[in-house]
Amino acid sequence: MKVRVCFHDKCFDGAASAAVFTRFYRERIHPAAEFLLTGMTHQAKHPFTEELFDGDENAIVDFKYAASPRATWWFDHHQSAFLKPEDADHFRRDTSGRKFYDPSFKSCTKFIATVGREKFGFDPAPLADLIHWADAIDGAQYPTPESAVRLVEPATQLALVIEAAPVADMSPQLIPHLAAKPLAEIVKLPLVTAHLPPLLERHRRTTDVMKQRCVARDGVVFFDVSADDLEGYNKFIPYYLNPEVVYSVGVSASPARAKVSVGTNPWNTDKAGQNLASICERYGGGGHARVAAISFEPHDLPKARAVAGEIVRLLRQGRAE
């Protein structure tokens, strides 16, 4: 039995979701399953092709819905889970009992663990630490900005490697370990230690670059790091440097895409009344109410900057309804 698992790549919750799903599937569905892992990246174009779904079963976790008859499992928690209304209709008509959606969950990892336990008798207790940290990281549930930026916990260091290591298959290499080993043990593996020191140094440099790039005014901090090779930056740095702001808007770039990221300061939410996913959906993006993004083709960086400027103005003027 071959199972293709498509997951949100370069994302701790995406990797953790795939790890929990593979363990759940092996323990409760098919003990001899062989998993084929594919990281998915949000892009301006449609992310799925039928050729991708080449397994006996095909699962999507922490990523958008695919209205394909070959996609047999789906778990997601993003507000912007459906590329078009027809996809949402397809999901609502599904009677397989193997496709699940709940945007109230902070992380897809905890969502899969909960559904697995309640509907299939899966015991997620051995993965409790992984589930806790996926929920804390993806849900921005840190006690202080310093705790989110200092990266002293094994989970936060693994998140850095997953998000920023300069290799294409880091998450697929780590997912089998995440499904079976403690985080404190995984962070000592050679495939992690080979990348962690330079990435921690890069993280420190990123903080210095952000100090120069951030412009905070009227409750919004804007930064453009598209020329700084910093697509995988720690999203909490802008709030660490500018604790007074409510929102952040950033522009970054990589060979695969130009990107606008929009976020809410987790430690200053009293004045945060805007649904950022709804705002980004206007430009073809999406995400969660408190954090969202828009992807553009690599050559569309000028358009990304223009859109970022529009969103900054809307948020600063308080007219982003």
Between the alpha carbon of residue 255 and those of residues 138, 143, 205, 252, the distances in Å are: 25, 35, 21, 11
Is-contact 43 31, C-beta < 8 A?
Answer: no
Query: Residue 23 domain-assigned?
Result: yes
Query: Residue 208 domain-assigned?
Result: no
Domain count, the chain: 2
Query: Residue 73 domain-assigned?
Result: yes
Among 191, 225, 254, where does a domain finish?
A: 191
Place of tokens 């990892």: 109
Please, which residues bridge with residue 253 across strands?
Answer: 258
Residue 257: domain span: 214-317
User: Is 161 found in the same domain as 81?
Assistant: yes
H or E segment to which residue 60 belongs: strand 57-61
Query: Residue 176 domain-assigned?
Result: yes
User: Is 146 found in the same domain as 14?
Assistant: yes
Is-contact 177 186, C-beta < 8 A?
Answer: yes
pLDDT at residue 321, as a whole number: 45
Between the alpha carbon of residue 132 and those of residues 5, 62, 107, 110, the distances in Å are: 22, 16, 9, 8
Among 133, 160, 191, where does a domain finish?
A: 191
User: Is 175 found in the same domain as 118?
Assistant: yes
User: Is 121 found in the same domain as 32?
Assistant: yes
Is-contact 15 155, C-beta < 8 A?
Answer: no
Q: Would you tell me how many other CB atoms lie within 10 Å of the CB of residue 50?
A: 11
pLDDT at residue 63, as a whole number: 96
Q: What CA–CA distance (Å, rounded) separates 47 from 192?
A: 28
User: Is 288 found in the same domain as 146?
Assistant: no
Is-contact 14 75, C-beta < 8 A?
Answer: no
User: Is 226 found in the same domain as 181?
Assistant: no
Packing angle of the helix pair 128-138, 108-120 (nearest 10 deg)? 140
pLDDT at residue 196, as a whole number: 97
Query: Residue 200 domain-assigned?
Result: no
* pLDDT tens by residue, the chain, 321 residues: 999 999 999 999 999 999 999 999 999 999 999 999 999 987 655 678 888 999 999 999 999 999 999 999 999 999 989 988 999 999 999 999 999 999 999 999 999 999 999 999 999 999 999 999 999 999 999 999 999 999 999 999 999 999 999 898 999 999 999 999 999 999 999 999 999 999 999 999 999 999 999 999 999 999 999 999 877 789 999 999 999 999 999 999 988 899 999 999 999 988 888 999 999 999 999 999 999 999 999 999 999 999 999 999 999 987 444
H or E segment to which residue 2 belongs: strand 2-8
Among 142, 157, 191, where does a domain finish?
A: 191
pLDDT at residue 45, as a whole number: 56
pLDDT at residue 126, as a whole number: 98
Is-contact 88 82, C-beta < 8 A?
Answer: yes
Q: What is the CATH number of the domain that holds 293?
A: 3.10.310.30
Query: Residue 98 domain-assigned?
Result: yes
User: Is 79 found in the same domain as 159?
Assistant: yes
CA angle 116, 192, 127 (to 5 degrees): 20
